[in-house]
Amino acid sequence: MKAIVYTSNAGSTADYAVLLARETGLPFYSAKEAKKKLPAGAEILYLGWIMADSIQGYADAAKRYKICAVCGVGMGKTGTRLVAGRAC
């Protein structure tokens, strides 16, 4: 694998990309940066934020790169997942 490529909305996915880069030693790039730094067909690990039923940016990344692994990042506000008045 050549790099970690991510698409982030609120910053959480970017934070996870940084953490993975530290652990793996791979460089990390936003999807916009990656277009300038990585050749088409490069093997990447892709991270994207989840909206509805899809990982944002994945379809575009899959057209350009060989995705070896993908990670979807979903975050919710504290207390938004309640069951019968209790947090899950």
Q: What is the pLDDT of residue 1?
A: 84
Indicate the number of domains in the chain.
1
What is the domain extent for residue 23? 3-87
pLDDT in tens, 1-41: 899 999 999 899 999 999 999 999 999 999 999 999 999 99
pTM of the model: 0.83
pLDDT in tens, 52-66: 889 999 999 999 999
Q: What is the pLDDT of residue 52?
A: 83
pLDDT band (50, 70, 90) for residue 84: low
Tell me the Ramachandran region of residue 11: left when phi exceeds 0, alpha when psi lies from -120 to 50, beta otherwise.
Answer: left
Q: What is the pLDDT of residue 74?
A: 85
Beta carbons of 18 and 26 less than 8 angstroms apart: no
pLDDT band (50, 70, 90) for residue 88: very low
**Pairwise CA distance, residues 64 & 46, whole Å:** 12
Q: What is the pLDDT of residue 82?
A: 56
